[in-house]
Amino acid sequence: MLRAEQLAVRRGSCTVLADIDLTLQPGEVFGVLGPNGAGKSTLLGALSGELLPAHGRVLLDGRDLAAWPGRERACRLAVLPQSSTLGFAFRVEQVVAMGRLPHASGQQHDGEIVAEALAAADASHLAGRSYLALSGGERQRVHLARILAQLWPGAAGQVLLLDEPTSMLDPLHQHSILQVVEALAARGVAVLVILHDLNLAARYCDRLLLLQRGRVHALGSPEQVLQCAPLRAVFGLEVLVQRHPERGHPLIIAR
C-alpha cells in the first residue's frame, strides 16, 4: 500500500503541490485528473521518490519510501513517466528486458516474461526491431511492456504509477492498454494513472482525484467527481454528464 500524508512539493520558492492525503489500495485503479500545470506529474514524481517532499511523507507498506533499498523497491514499485527516451539502437526485447534488472530470476524465465509483457502491450510484432525505428506510439507500448515486465505477473503489495500512458496511442490501443492496467489491478496491484481523457477515466478508474493548482479539488468515485460544477471550476468547461447506456458510468459530453 502506498500512502501520502500531508504531502507538499516546492520548486524554488513556489509551492506546486500541497496538502495531499491519499492512499492507493491493492486492486484499485486510481485516476488523477487536472489541467496542464495542476501538479499531476509532480504528484507522481513525489509518490515515486523522484521528488523530495518539502513537507509530509510517502510511505510504502508503512515504511518511508526513501528507506527502501533500490532493488527491493523496484520489485514493488514501477513507474512509467510521461516521456521515456532511449538514444541507442537496442532491440525491442532488450528494452523490455530492462524491466527485469531488479530480479534475479534467470535468463530463460526473464525471456518468457518479456514475451508475455510484449503480448500484453500488443507489441509482440515489434520484437527484433530497433527501438529507434519505432513510431512514438510503438515506443510508448514498448516502455509499457518494460514496466509490465518489472512487476509481472502482478500481485498484492505492488504499485504501478503511470503518467499519461495513452497520450500517443490510437483509440483502440488506449482501451487495450487500460484493460491491461485493469487486469493488473485485478491481481492485487495498486495502480495510479494520470489521464486527460475524462471518459477514459470514467470507464476505467475506481476513484478519481481532481487537482487544481496543486491542491485537491475533488476526490471520490467517478460519479462523485465527474460532475458539471467541479469540471467547470477546474477546466472552465461546460459539459453534460449522462450515464453510459451500457456500462452505467458517467459519460462526459462537451457542450
List pLDDT tens digits, range 68-114. Answer: 999 999 999 999 998 777 778 899 999 999 999 999 788 899 999 99
Give the domain CATH number at 85.
3.40.50.300
Q: How many domains does the chain have?
A: 1
Give me the mean pLDDT over the 192-216 stretch: 97
pLDDT at site 105: 83
- In this structure, what C-alpha cell is assigned to residue 147? 514496466
pLDDT bin (cut points 50, 70, 90) of residue 12 is confident
Residue 71: the pLDDT is 92
User: pTM for the complete prediction?
Assistant: 0.95
Q: Return the residue matching grid coordinates 468547461.
A: 237
Amino acid, res. 240: L
- Convert the pLDDT of each residue in 105-150 to its tens digit: 888 999 999 999 999 999 999 999 999 999 999 999 999 999 999 9
**Domain range spanning residue 157?**
2-254
Q: Residue 207: enclosing H or E segment and its boundaries?
A: strand 207-212
- What's the half-sphere exposure (Cβ side, CA atoms, 13 Å) at 186? 7
Which residue in 26, 80, 25, 75 sits closest to 50, CA to CA? 80
The predicted structure's pLDDT at residue 13? 87
Q: What is the pLDDT of residues 153-183, one digit of tens each?
A: 999 999 999 999 998 899 999 999 999 999 9
Stretch (H or E) spanning 19: strand 14-24
Q: What is the pLDDT of residues 16-54, one digit of tens each?
A: 999 999 999 999 999 999 999 999 999 999 999 999 999
As beta bridge partners, residue 227 has none
Cell output for 69: 533499498
Phi/psi at 21 (5° precision): -125, 120
Write down the pLDDT at residue 88: 83
Asked if 108 contacts 98 with a C-beta cutoff of 8 angstroms, the reply is: no
Q: Which residue carries 471520490 as its cell?
A: 220
